[in-house]
Amino acid sequence: EDQVTQSPEALRLQEGESSSLNCSYTVSGLRGLFWYRQDPGKGPEFLFTLYSAGEEKEKERLKATLTKKESFLHITAPKPEDSATYLCAVQYSSGSARQLTFGSGTQLTVLP
């Protein structure tokens, strides 16, 4: 069964303390890996799409990387406004299926 596992479940950082979130997947035939940010009471907000191993994407303090088995979301010098739940989702190649398979998320808290 295709699975997406995120770690850690929760992460508390001091402002300016860089760290990484992990997303490992067991799907065969990856079509794309997506990172979303979700604030309480809101829907997931799209951040990045990665399609192939070795690919990297950056946006402000966030950088996403992809290998054949996992993806990392690196947060450099985070600020309190970066506090949110970060979700990883995989879209796999299976005929016409385009559904996303989500991980359970990492709840990030950045303390001032």
Partner 1 sequence: EAGVTQFPSHSVIEKGQTVTLRCDPISGHDNLYWYRRVMGKEIKFLLHFVKESKQDESGMPNNRFLAERTGGTYSTLKVQPAELEDSGVYFCASSRDSNQPQHFGDGTRLSIL
Binding status of residue 112 toward partner 1 by CB under 8 A: no
Question: What's the closest the beta carbon of residue 69 comes to partner 1, in angstroms?
Answer: 19
Q: Does 27 bind partner 1 (CB under 8 A)?
A: no
Burial of residue 76 (CB within 10 Å: 0-12, 13-18, 19+) is middle
- Residues of span 45-64 touching partner 1 by CB under 8 A: 45-46, 49
Distance CA 106, CA 23 (A): 9
Alpha-carbon gap, residue 25 to 15, rounded angstroms = 29
Chosen residue from 13, 23, 33, 34 binding partner 1 by CB under 8 A: 34
Taking the complex as a whole, how short is the minimal distance between the CB of residue 15 and partner 1, in angstroms? Answer: 28
